[in-house]
Amino acid sequence: MSTSAIEIQQFIQLDEKELDARIIAAKKTLGERLVILGHHYQREEVFRHADFSGDSLKLSREAANSQAEYIVFCGVHFMAEVADILSRPDQIAILPDLSAGCSMADMANLANVERAWKELSEVLEPDETITPMTYINSAADLKAFCGRHGGIVCTSTNAPHVVDWAFARREKILFFPDQHLGRNTAFNKGIALDEMVVWDYELPMGGLTPEEIKKAKMILWKGFCSVHQMFKPEHIDRFKEKYPEGKVVSHPESSFEVCQKSDYVGSTEYIINVIRDSEPGTRWLVGTELNLVNRLHEQFKHEGKNVHFMSPTVCMCSTMFRIDPQHLLWTLENLLEGKPVNQIKVEPIEAEQAKLALERMLEISP
């Protein structure tokens, strides 16, 4: 057993009250040397300790603007990579549990994307006709790929602006890893469904003919979020039958059919704002991660607002859930001893190229 594993074991049996007290004490001692960033999907017992909370775009900006010595990211691996890329060289980005990854991000790896780019070159000149566009839910090496090829990163918040930017430069977009965000965003920008194709990375030429590739404006990677994939149109139908006056708001990682049946579609920040700004006594069906939906229910129930989770099956971001109070406390108390653990460090050349794509995104984001 490694030293770090033995140390973590010491925190497993602590009760919530002691965990809370020691986290608060460690934060106070570390002071301005520390900033904790918490994604909206994070579990409540960790989320409440975040200095800044938000979606990927907001937290990317907080990472870039942070003056702290230590940036502890209560999210998943790609978020901590972004923090490392955008922060100063003397800052340290930390992920409390290295097993907190993203199944969607894993659906697109550099080898498969480079092979797709090579296969596309058999039909057209990709560096002249295609803008590679990666969702921020992707590894640093894919962001670097976009940086090298004149591409860009997007979040669910700024995807519409980034799509406009991309089409102003080249006629096609290769969008990865989430096909649903790409499809929903492009459709709302007036791109017809028959101008979009899905690239199946397990098949030669993505399973597409040269004619399909030439016709397509959006080439969508065959990837998805396991949480948002759970939401179905029939969940909305049943809700509307029971509550005709109810409203539906969904995240654009949900399927096209779910988004088309929803009254509102947008990022986690958008979802929060829509419910916050709604009239007292309204009822909402929400298609996004369970921790956020539960938090919204608790936050607005005093206004008589009813917030329902869309799926009848309990589904949360299981990898984000791996960041628990025990790992957060273990991280902070190691910092008190001057021992940063689980540092996330992107290689310099890769970081430089990825930063190009991220900075393009931040420059055009409203």
Measured CA to CA, the distance from residue 111 to residue 116 in angstroms comes to: 9
Q: What distance lies between CA 141 and its chain's CA centroid?
A: 16
Nearest to 105 by CA among 132, 157, 151, 143: 143
| pLDDT tens column, 174-207 | 999 999 999 999 999 999 999 999 999 999 999 9
CATH code assigned to 3-101+319-346: 3.40.50.10800
Prior bond of 177 cis (ω within 30°) = yes
Domain residue ranges in the chain: 3-101+319-346, 105-226, 228-309
pLDDT of 5 strictly over 60: no
pLDDT average, residue stretch 82-108: 88
pLDDT exceeds cutoff 90 at 63: no
Q: Please give the CATH architecture assigned to the domain spanning 105-226.
A: 3-Layer(aba) Sandwich (3.40)
pLDDT at 1: 32
CB burial readout 125-135, b (16+ within 10 A) else e: ebbeebbbbbb
Q: Is the pLDDT of residue 173 over 70?
A: yes
pLDDT tens-place string over residues 211-237: 999 999 999 999 998 888 899 999 999
pTM of the entire predicted model = 0.90
Of residues 267, 304, 199, 302, the one with CA closest to residue 286: 267
Whole-number Å distance between alpha carbons of 133 and 364: 14
Q: In what order do the strands lie in the sheet with 172-176?
A: 152-154, 130-135, 172-176, 218-221, 196-199
Would you say the CATH fold of 228-309 matches that of 3-101+319-346? yes
Of the listed ranges 258-267, 272-281, 357-366, the least confidently predicted one is 357-366
According to CATH, what is the number of the domain 228-309? 3.40.50.10800
How far apart CA 316 and CA 293 sit, in angstroms, is 10
Instruction: Look up residue 139 and give its two tokens.
Output: 């590894």
- Give the per-residue pLDDT at 320: 62
69-86 pLDDT, tens digit each: 999 999 888 889 999 999
